[in-house]
Amino acid sequence: MGMCPFELADLRRPRRDGVGTSLLGSAVEWLPDMIDGISTAVLADNERARSFLEANDLVCEETAELELAGEPHEHAVYRIGFED
């Protein structure tokens, strides 16, 4: 699977108005044809981020302990594959 990193940043805008979904959709449309899916990791206790990803059809496939600022934190890894 090819990789194309991007990040949706929390700009402290009002939530639930479709901005994140629109940005994610635009990013996916922009991806080259050779990219057959995306994955991301979020803090496991970040329910808002997990809810957003699940609402956009990403699936939590695993949890992993990753280092953040020198400390271990539990992350949930989400993925979605694109159909041809």
pTM score, whole prediction? 0.72
**pLDDT tens digit sequence for 40-62:** 899 999 999 999 999 998 999 99
**pLDDT tens digit sequence for 61-81:** 999 998 888 999 999 999 888
Q: In the chain, what is the greatest distance between 2 CA atoms, to the nearest angstrom?
A: 40
What class does CATH assign to 36-84? Answer: alpha beta
Report residue 45 as tokens.
Answer: 């206790």
Rounded-to-integer distance, Cα 64 and Cα 44, Å? 9
**Domain coordinates of the chain in residue numbers?**
36-84
Check residue 77 and report its DSSP letter. Answer: E
By CB atoms closer than 10 A (0-12, 13-18, 19+), residue 78 is buried
